[in-house]
Structure 1
């Protein structure tokens, strides 16, 4: 059976990583979380005093960007990929609100996006991949055979994000704080100069506001089969 490239784009906290990961597992493809890569760069900036609140030392980051190594390794217990920054597992750290509040700023920097896009394209050049992010169908893989654009209401996305954080033991955040962060990220993602969040002309829209994970997976598998069987 032929292998294709599947690009899943959309707003933050709409469950696209979960569905992309599930789809990849179901069809035997490699899953790549592009958002985790930008989060890892953001964590690196925080750890190395490159970013202070909303101010970034651009020169220091540019001098370091090629020394930032990001890998994905499968957790033998969960069977899921986890993010490694320069050899250290940072999967938990990159999901924190501290990183969430700064990742859109870091990911808007041109040379950061150029570096990450290059790495992403190298990871997917053999096809047989499902990659999710903001600009996968428009910039990273503009020729992807299947492009999905995922959306949901801000309130639903905020609740999902809050539930996810609570499940990981983070009880020091409120719904209003999560919603505010999410809306701010949406604005930054859609209006940045480099690789802005937008729907590719040939992408299929999936509004999952009122869909269960099972319904989403059934929908995704059908779209995949439609392309494969053409």
Structure 2
């Protein structure tokens, strides 16, 4: 296995720092970064705007068939429209959790995600990257942190984006609700892959987590 074709998956609950860590690992190893959370948020945002509820049905299936979702240069596009700046807020997070529980939504994105490895190795973060999307990945990480720490990170992120009316207790409750939804859903629930490495980032910085995963990746390559 070379540094150019290794696949690293980083799964975990909302607010664990998966995106920041995945970007850092990808940059350090010279790999592509697959932002699966952005893909789900983009679909959820688009379906909600089209007044299509998060339930299986013909209208949902028809819309998904015609929907074009793409990642390019760190931006997210739906049917050619850049929605990157519209999908990073608590409302869309909540919507993404509901829509991502639907088999038709997950099936639509499965092929899109797997196609990304055709260009070489990558780092993918999400909820089922190591269990469903890339089950043969040589390095699987399950990144977690306490509910309070994750809520504080999300709260600080929202405030930094200018959302001054955000309430910490509401963010904490959103985190707890999202956790229950992700772990209890019937389709691809959030679980640790049997061969994953569990990392608790509650007391670790992003750089420290990145260092740990890069070290594991280098070990995985040398063992091949």
Q: Equivalent residue for 1:193?
A: 186
Q: In the TM superposition, what is the alpha-carbon distance from 1:170 to its structure 2 partner? A: 1.2
Please say which of residues 105-114 and 95-104 is displaced more in the overlay.
95-104
- Gaps (5+ residues) in structure 1? 75-80
2:122 matches 1:129: yes
Please say which of residues 174-183 and 212-221 is displaced more in the overlay.
212-221
| Structural mapping, 1:17-36, within 5 Å | 17-36=19-38
Mapped contact 2:152–2:168 kept (Cα < 8 A): yes
Distance 2:161 2:55 in 1: 29
Deviations 1:152-171 (A, max 9, x none): 00000000001111111111
- TM-score where L is the length of structure 1: 0.92
Q: In the TM superposition, what is the alpha-carbon distance from 1:127 to its structure 2 partner? A: 3.8
Q: Secondary structure at the match of 1:95?
A: coil
Mapped contact 2:56–2:104 kept (Cα < 8 A): no
Q: Secondary structure at the match of 2:51?
A: coil
- TM-score where L is the length of structure 2: 0.94
Q: Equivalent residue for 1:77?
A: none
Q: Secondary structure at the match of 1:111?
A: helix
2:112 matches 1:140: no
Deviations 1:195-229 (A, max 9, x none): 11000000001100000122112111111111111
2:43 matches 1:41: yes
2:205 pairs, out of 190, 212, 216, with: 212
When the two structures are aligned, how many residues end up with a matched partner?
221
Give me the CA root mean square deviation.
1.3
